């Protein structure tokens, strides 16, 4: 049962990175885009629904691994606080931008949208870097992190690099989405090659800093990630933007699944050998067995909603005249 719920939580987190990644990446690039209304029109039908995946992932972790989630929320409190403020301001920017016909008003909310999208993605990447590297879990199963530096600090050179890579990868994902939906591929020329080089550097640093053991299943996803990034690059240059976007989805998904496979069965890695493992912090089996059916129903409904949104938003996005 703990392994099953570990897998279910990993599926939802992967879905969030893939689905929200393109609208967050597009948001980060928004201020640099020639037609900013086209960016809003492209992400408009999707961004509300994409946030469902992170809520579902949080609910799954709360249901199955409440002790681990509680430790993570308190330990990463400051980073999560800034991330939530960024998420709220980002939503305000999308909703309020066109409420007033003023160049100054538009410019302000354009800047807010790009800044908050980039900040949110960067902070999530920093948190992911901490989860991979390990955190200073105490004997009571909790931890606290300083904002900068020190042993187990929230932001150190490695976690900063992971945050920067997360921003770069989602920007590439968002740029590919915008090329597909708007036909504007101005960002794609260099983003994907740089992303692939940055991925190799982060991968090498991660294998050096984090001893995950053999984990053959995570190694098997390495060629998938490389192939997907190369495919996204080649397909983008050939103008096949829809196929390039699918390759971009595969790149992000393979990375997230690979990380989950490498960490399994650990929920929270410790710097001091006090790892919180799924089997040690899982809720009671009886409740989780019943919850599986409700989880499947909710997942199916969310997947149908997402598929329906893509179906109704097929073709190029349109802006109001």
Residue 227 located in a structural domain: yes
Residue-wise pLDDT tens digits, 11-32: 999 999 999 999 999 999 988 8
pLDDT in the model for residue 256: 93
Please report whether residue 290 resides in a domain. yes
β-bridge mates for residue 148, sequence order: 155
The proportion of the chain whose per-residue pLDDT surpasses 90, expressed as a percent, equals 37
User: What is the Cα–Cα distance from 97 to 110, expressed in whole angstroms?
Assistant: 7
Q: DSSP of 203-231, one letter per residue?
A: HHHHHHH------HHHHHTHHHHHHHHHH
Q: Is residue 157 domain-resident?
A: yes
Question: Considering the chain, what is the average pLDDT of its residues?
Answer: 86
Q: Which residues contact 189 (CB under 8 A, 6 or more apart)?
A: none
Query: What is residue 321's predicted lDDT score, i.e. its pLDDT?
Result: 40
Q: How confident is the model at residue 74 (pLDDT cuts 50, 70, 90)?
A: confident
CA dist 145 and 143 (Å) reads: 7
Confidence label for 150 from pLDDT (cuts 50, 70 and 90): low
CATH number reported for the structural domain that contains residue 308 in this entry: 1.20.1630
Residue 10 covered by a domain: yes
More confident residue, 144 or 84: 84
Task: Specify the range with the lowest mean pLDDT, choosing from 31-45, 62-76, 110-124.
Answer: 31-45
Q: What angle do CA 79, 2, 130 make, to 5 degrees?
A: 25
Helix (H, G, I), strand (E, B) or coil at 36: helix
Per-residue pLDDT at 300 exceeds 50: yes
Say which residue, 92 or 312, is predicted with more confidence: 92
Q: What is the mean pLDDT of residues 142-170?
A: 85
Residue 317 in domain: no
pLDDT value for 213: 56
Let me know: does 9 contact 43? Beta carbons within 8 Å.
no
Q: Tell me, yes or no, if the pTM score tops 0.85.
A: yes
Angle at 276 between CA 272 and CA 281, to 5 degrees: 155
pLDDT given at position 232: 92
Cβ atoms of residues 288 and 63 within 8 Å: yes
List the beta strands (DSSP E) in the chain: 266-268, 276-277
Q: How many residues make up the chain in this entry? A: 321
Q: Which two tokens stand for residue 164?
A: 């920067």
Distance of CA 106 to the CA centre of its chain: 27
97: Cβ contacts below 8 Å, ≥ 6 apart: 40, 105, 106, 109, 110, 113
The verdict on residue 318 lying in a domain is no
- 321 domain residue, yes or no: no
Task: Please compute the mean of the pLDDT values over residues 64-80 and round it to a whole number.
Answer: 88
What is the model's pLDDT at position 306? 86
CB 174 within 8 A of CB 23: yes
- Token pair for 140: 């009571």
Contacts of 238 (CB under 8 A, 6+ apart): none
**Confidence at residue 12, expressed as pLDDT on a 0 to 100 scale:** 94
- Domain holding 18, by residue range, is 2-312
What is the total count of domains within the chain? Answer: 1
Whether 7 contacts 14, CB under 8 Å:
no
C-beta atoms surrounding 41 within 10 Å? 18
Q: What is the pLDDT of residue 120?
A: 95
* pLDDT computed for residue 281 by the predictor: 86
With contact defined as beta carbons under 8 Å apart, do 195 and 172 qualify? yes
Q: What is d(CA 237, CA 58) in angstroms, rounded to the nearest whole number?
A: 38
- pLDDT range class, residue 151, cuts 50, 70, 90: low
3-state secondary structure of 239: coil
Give the pLDDT score at 317: 65
Within-domain flag for 239: yes
Contact predicate 42/176, CB 8 Å: no
Which tens digit of pLDDT belongs to each residue from 190-248?
889 999 999 999 988 887 776 665 555 667 788 899 999 999 999 998 889 999 999 99
d(CA 80, CA 123): 8
pLDDT tops 80 at residue 112: yes
């Amino acid at each position: 049962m703990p392994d099953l719920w570990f897998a279910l939580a990993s599926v939802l987190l992967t879905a969030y990175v893939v689905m929200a990644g393109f609208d967050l990446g597009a948001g980060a690039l928004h201020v640099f885009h020639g037609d900013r209304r086209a960016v809003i029109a492209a992400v408009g039908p999707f961004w509300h629904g994409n946030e469902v995946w992170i809520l579902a992932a949080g609910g799954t972790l709360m249901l199955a691994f409440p002790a681990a989630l509680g430790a993570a929320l308190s330990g990463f409190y400051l980073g999560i606080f800034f991330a939530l403020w960024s998420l709220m301001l980002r939503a305000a920017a999308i909703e309020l931008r066109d409420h007033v016909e003023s160049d100054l008003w538009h410019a302000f909310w354009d800047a807010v949208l790009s800044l908050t999208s980039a900040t949110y993605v960067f902070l999530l990447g920093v948190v992911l870097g901490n989860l991979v590297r390990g955190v200073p879990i105490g004997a009571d199963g909790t931890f606290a992190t300083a904002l900068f530096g020190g042993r187990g600090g929230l932001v150190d050179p490695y976690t900063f690099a992971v945050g920067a890579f997360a921003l770069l990868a989602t920007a590439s994902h968002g740029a590919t989405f915008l090329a597909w939906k708007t036909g504007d591929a101005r960002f794609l020329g260099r983003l994907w090659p740089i992303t692939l080089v940055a991925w190799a550097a982060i991968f090498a640093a991660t294998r050096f800093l984090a001893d995950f053991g053999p984990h053959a299943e995570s190694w098997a996803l390495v060629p998938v990630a490389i192939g997907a990034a190369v495919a996204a690059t080649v397909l983008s240059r050939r103008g096949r933007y829809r196929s390039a976007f699918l390759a971009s989805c595969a790149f992000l998904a393979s990375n997230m699944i690979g990380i989950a496979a490498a960490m399994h069965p650990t929920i929270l890695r410790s710097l001091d050998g006090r790892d919180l493992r799924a089997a040690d912090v899982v809720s009671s089996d009886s409740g989780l067995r019943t919850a599986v059916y409700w989880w499947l129903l909710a997942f199916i409904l969310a997947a149908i909603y997402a598929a329906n949104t893509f179906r109704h938003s097929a073709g190029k996005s349109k802006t109001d005249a």
